[in-house]
């Protein structure tokens, strides 16, 4: 599986459905759409794609997904060229997350141009740029943190899950397809169980951010994966029973030293 960079310039094409499609992905739904891939013909079904907004501020990564159909010639995305009978290579994407820059901030271009990430040319003239595997792994990590912090409220994915490389990265990406919807469902399940509160489910803890911090702590919690991706030999489904609501302290202690301790053994 390879990772490719797709580009969108609002000055060149108006994305009429952007707001609605961003809202759908925020609700955990997958949005399917066709996107130009420049002259790149090597993209395959199952490849990872990131979408960067260029041309106008704010610039940066605003979407992620997978390829569901490989490149083929279709009617050109530019209306004038389409009228003239021109075509362009395009792919079908399944978008897991789209950020509406009018409401939420993309992952900033300035951040992408720093450190190892700076090895990639993030302002291409067209889509279909191959992102090296090592850079793609790092991008996965910071993208997960970005959408977790700015777009999904105060519920966080396990950091240890976002750092895998190589073949394990495939399990991570396939898993994340349902992750956003699962987290929302887990929150609702916990609220129903605890009379509207989010209480740490570690035995002998029971920490409640709202009880301690008032309004500031309302709806704040971490969602912990009881079955680490590293223990799975292939991509697999995750159910609500595989997740737990935990406080930040317990979450850190669960994984301290690279381990994944059980909720019952953590606090003596």
Q: What is the pLDDT of residue 181?
A: 64
Q: What is the pLDDT of residue 219?
A: 84
Cα separations in angstroms, 164 against 59, 120, 141, 158, 249: 27, 20, 9, 12, 23
pTM for this entry: 0.61
**Please, what's the largest Cα pairwise distance for the chain?**
73
Q: Does domain 3-143 bear CATH number 3.10.590? A: yes
Residue 251: name the closest of 156, 165, 179 by CA. 156
Confidence band of 233 (pLDDT split at 50, 70, 90): very low
Query: Could you state, in order of their start, the residue ranges of all structural domains in the chain?
Result: 3-143, 155-258
User: CA dihedral defined by 73, 77, 79, 84, rounded to 10 degrees?
Assistant: -20
d(CA 150, CA 99): 10
State pLDDT tens for residues 140-189.
Answer: 889 988 886 433 333 344 433 333 333 344 344 444 544 656 777 888 89
Give the pLDDT mean for 200-204.
Answer: 96
- Determine the straight-line distance between the first and last CA of the chain, rounded to whole angstroms: 44
């Amino acid at each position: 599986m390879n990772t490719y960079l797709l580009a969108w310039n609002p000055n060149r094409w108006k994305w009429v459905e952007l707001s609605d499609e961003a809202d759908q992905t925020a609700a955990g739904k997958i949005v399917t759409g066709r996107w130009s891939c420049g002259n790149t013909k090597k993209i395959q079904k199952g490849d990872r794609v990131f979408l960067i907004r260029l041309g106008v501020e704010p610039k940066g990564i605003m979407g992620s997904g997978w390829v569901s159909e490989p490149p083929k010639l279709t009617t050109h995305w530019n209306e004038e060229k389409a009228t003239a009978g021109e075509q362009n290579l395009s792919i079908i994407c399944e978008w897991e997350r789209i950020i509406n820059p009018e409401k939420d901030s993309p992952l900033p271009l300035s951040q992408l141009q720093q450190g190892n990430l700076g090895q990639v040319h993030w302002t291409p003239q067209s889509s279909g740029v191959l992102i090296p595997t090592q850079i793609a792994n790092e991008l996965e990590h910071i993208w997960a943190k970005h959408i977790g912090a700015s777009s999904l409220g105060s519920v966080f994915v396990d950091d240890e899950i976002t750092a895998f490389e190589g073949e394990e990265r495939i399990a991570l990406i396939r898993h994340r397809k349902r992750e956003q919807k699962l987290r929302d469902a887990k929150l609702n399940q916990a609220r129903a169980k605890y009379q509207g509160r989010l209480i740490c489910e570690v035995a002998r803890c029971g920490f409640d951010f709202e009880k301690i911090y008032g309004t500031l702590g309302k709806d704040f919690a971490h969602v912990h994966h009881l079955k680490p991706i590293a223990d799975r030999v292939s991509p697999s489904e995750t159910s609500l029973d595989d997740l737990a609501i935990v406080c930040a302290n317990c979450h850190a202690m669960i994984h301290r030293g690279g381990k994944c301790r059980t909720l019952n053994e953590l606090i003596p």
